[in-house]
A and B are shown apart, each in its own frame.
Chain A
Amino acid sequence: MRRAAPWVVLALALAFPLAMQAEQTYYLSFASRIFVYALAATSLNLILGYGGMISFGHAAFVGTGAYVSSILLSEGVASAWIGWPAAVAASALAALAIGAVSLRTRGAYFIMITLAFAQMMFFLVNSMKAYGGDEGLSLRERASVGLGVDLGSDFAFYYTALAALAAGLYGLHRLAHSRFGRVIQAIRENEERAEAIGFPVYRHKLACFVIAGAAGGLAGALLASHGKYVNPNVLHWTHSGTLMVMVILGGVGRLWGGVIGAAALLGLEDLIANHRVDWLAAIFPNYQQHASLGVGAALLAIVLFAPEGIAGMLARRKHA
């Protein structure tokens, strides 16, 4: 049963669009957005959950991917086969540069320096007049994959995003069970011990950081194509915070943590915003504008009482 579960989910995900009527492409678009955020959150989960590195700068890599792919598109390079690998390469490079400096530090120092780098990129991109600056960059078309497929259709994009997410999850699964993955987790549990045993800690952490950055870059490229718009806010540290919330909500260090967290947070936001709960509105009018109070309370509750996130809770109940 456990082995079959991912396949069941995949089948459901593949079948979902076919059940939608033609006008309901909105839900396909919404689901695509969840997939892309799930990929971004999963890439953060690699560093955060498996690697134990608290990085507040992950938005910098998602943002780099988004901007590189958008700039290429706006300069006439329409093919995704060039644009997206370029985005991944750029983010990996950024992760290498930022990681090389940041990973010399540990703990709170690491958190701060990753945050600082993200802020630096945010300010620099903001002053880039050529690519829209604060007003952002609007794209006329999504990237094209050729093969007779038009990514402009919500249908096609849905499957593309799903494919990317599936690839990311598969990659994480294989990585976590590989020797590299086990070393990373050993480093997370006790860095001094791992060093004493003789593992090249710095190199492993850096490699992990770069892989996660690259995956984040892909998510960024997809995000830019999905919305056909990119803006410096995607690099802001609060965006890193949002990704972190998704990971902790879903289950840090668990394979499906990013997916569950993204679906839960985005789904919750949509529910609160668009489906008015009348009895709640009677007690607390305008509650929909104070949604972040609920998100904050939920997050606090999860951290205090259910630190393993939704995935953890469900797994524990199964074994109890």
Chain B
Amino acid sequence: MSWILIVEQSLNGLQFGLMLFLLAAGLTLVFGIMDMINLAHGSLYMLGAFLAATLVQATGSFALGVLLAIPATAVLGMLLEMSVLRTLYARDHLSQVLATFALILIFNEAVRIIWGPDMPLSVPAALSGPVQLLPGMVYPAYRLLIIGVGAAVAGALYLLVARTRIGMLVRAGASNREMALAMGVNIPRLFTLLFGVGAGLCAVAGALLGPLFAVQVGMGENILILAFVVIVIGGIGSIRGALVGSLLVGVVDTIGRAFLPLLFGIFFQPRVASAAGPAIASVLVYLLMAAVLYIKPQGLFPARG
């Protein structure tokens, strides 16, 4: 097993983790500040991917298509918030779960009716192909782009939350909503804006991952579960937790899938290893979550102490 392979798998884990972060960040903020469980977050990711696919085809340019899809999805997200989701803030978690589950069903069918079951979206020609990072080591150029964009967005989000006034309001709202309200913060507008940002982040993830993953109806559900696992591990309401959680999940999932079967092969007979290895690898992320919750039932960095 070469060190090149280890480096490559680590980069894969980093890339996957950063994309998960884009989804988890929006999800944890909505959950932490509005105290709302939003299962339809995955649907916004799906919309972002479909809009990107359509706009790329329409404009003929990958960059333009992706850049336009982001505000488009953000606007749709804000419209959704102002119409349906706002009424759910005051409701209990069960109602939120069921209502947003209903939204998943509605969005899936609506997308199928408007676009059909899937849309093609490819890596732009300039970026398809490997790049030589070190002698003897190549890595797909497009994934490097994802790492770059993901890191940049993470940095920008951190600056926004930690260094700006809006970020301060967000952090205040996350740790104590009633106090923030009492201090005169315009909650409805802040929430709508926040939701729009979350939707925009979903679009970035959806558009960037679109060329690698199938852009198809129902694509949001799989990644939604992982995003929830991330915020549960990281601690609801915490951006830092979302970042740590997503990197952890990304790396564990990737490395687990890559090396666990090999590890099992060393300790166990081939028959057992070939059956148990992949089975355990597929549930490794869930085992990680269970372990974290057992030790820290509120996640690693809960926003409300």
Instruction: Check A-B contact in the complex, CB < 8 A.
Output: yes
Tell me whether B70 is interfacial, beta carbon within 8 Å.
no
CB of A98 to closest CB in B, whole Å: 10
Q: Please classify how large the interface on chain B is, using the bins under 10, 10 to 19, 20 to 34, 35 or more.
A: 35 or more
Chain B residues numbered 6-43 whose CB sits less than 8 Å from any CB in chain A: 31, 37
Interface contact B293-A104, CB-CB below 8 Å: yes
Chain B minimum-CB-distance residue to A284: B113
CB 8 Å contact bits of B83-101 with A (1 = contact, 0 = none): 0100100010111011101
CB of B275 to closest CB in A, whole Å: 7
Contact of A299 among B87, B98, B229, B290 (CB under 8 A): B98
Contact of B102 among A104, A107, A297 (CB under 8 A): A297
**Cα distance A111–B93 when bound, in Å?**
10
Give chain B's interface residues, CB within 8 Å of chain A: 31, 37, 84, 87, 91, 93-95, 97-99, 101-106, 108-110, 112-113, 221, 225, 228-229, 232, 236, 275, 278-279, 282-283, 286-287, 289-290, 293-294, 297-299
Interface contact B293-A113, CB-CB below 8 Å: yes
Q: Given A123-B279, A299-B101, A307–B109 Cβ distance below 8 Å?
A: no
The 26 sampled A-B contact pairs (Cβ below 8 Å) are: A48-B94, A106-B297, A109-B297, A111-B37, A111-B97, A113-B290, A113-B293, A116-B286, A120-B283, A123-B279, A123-B282, A127-B275, A127-B278, A241-B101, A244-B97, A252-B94, A290-B113, A292-B105, A293-B109, A296-B106, A297-B102, A297-B106, A299-B98, A300-B99, A300-B103, A307-B91
Tell me whether A131 is interfacial, beta carbon within 8 Å.
no
Secondary structure call for the A interface: helix
CB of A302 to closest CB in B, whole Å: 8
Q: Given A48-B94, A105-B297, A296-B109, A303–B232 Cβ distance below 8 Å?
A: no
Q: Which 5 A-B pairs have the closest CB atoms?
A: A296-B105, A293-B109, A299-B102, A300-B102, A296-B106
Interface contact A101-B37, CB-CB below 8 Å: no
**Cα distance A122–B91 when bound, in Å?**
31
How many residues in A have their beta carbons less than 8 Å from beta carbons of B?
Answer: 40
Contact of B236 among A54, A108, A116, A252 (CB under 8 A): A108
Chain B minimum-CB-distance residue to A123: B282
Residues of A within 8 A of B287 (CB): 120
Contact of A108 among B31, B104, B283 (CB under 8 A): B31
CB of B23 to closest CB in A, whole Å: 15
**Cα distance A107–B93 when bound, in Å?**
8
Residues of A within 8 A of B108 (CB): 292
Tell me whether A155 is interfacial, beta carbon within 8 Å.
no
Chain B minimum-CB-distance residue to A124: B279
Interface contact A112-B228, CB-CB below 8 Å: yes
Q: Given A119-B286, A290-B109, A105–B99 Cβ distance below 8 Å?
A: no
Interface contact B104-A296, CB-CB below 8 Å: yes
Interface contact A300-B298, CB-CB below 8 Å: no
Interface contact B289-A293, CB-CB below 8 Å: no
Tell me whether A199 is interfacial, beta carbon within 8 Å.
no
Q: Given A54-B94, A105-B297, A124-B279, A112–B110 Cβ distance below 8 Å?
A: no
Interface contact A293-B105, CB-CB below 8 Å: yes
**Cα distance A116–B37 when bound, in Å?**
16
Residues of B within 8 A of A111 (CB): 37, 93, 97
Chain A minimum-CB-distance residue to B107: A296
CB 8 Å contact bits of A286-320 with B (1 = contact, 0 = none): 00001011011101100110010000000000000
CB of A45 to closest CB in B, whole Å: 12
Interface contact B286-A117, CB-CB below 8 Å: yes
**Cα distance A63–B78 when bound, in Å?**
39
Interface contact A116-B290, CB-CB below 8 Å: yes
Chain A minimum-CB-distance residue to B112: A290
Chain A minimum-CB-distance residue to B275: A127
Tell me whether A115 is interfacial, beta carbon within 8 Å.
yes
Interface contact A303-B294, CB-CB below 8 Å: no
Tell me whether A214 is interfacial, beta carbon within 8 Å.
no
Chain B minimum-CB-distance residue to A298: B102
Residues of B within 8 A of A248 (CB): 94, 98
Tell me whether A245 is interfacial, beta carbon within 8 Å.
yes
Interface contact A303-B102, CB-CB below 8 Å: yes
CB of B138 to closest CB in A, whole Å: 32
Q: Given A119-B225, A124-B283, A54–B97 Cβ distance below 8 Å?
A: yes
Residues of A within 8 A of B98 (CB): 244-245, 248, 299, 303
Interface contact A119-B283, CB-CB below 8 Å: yes
Interface contact B298-A109, CB-CB below 8 Å: yes
**Cα distance A56–B236 when bound, in Å?**
18
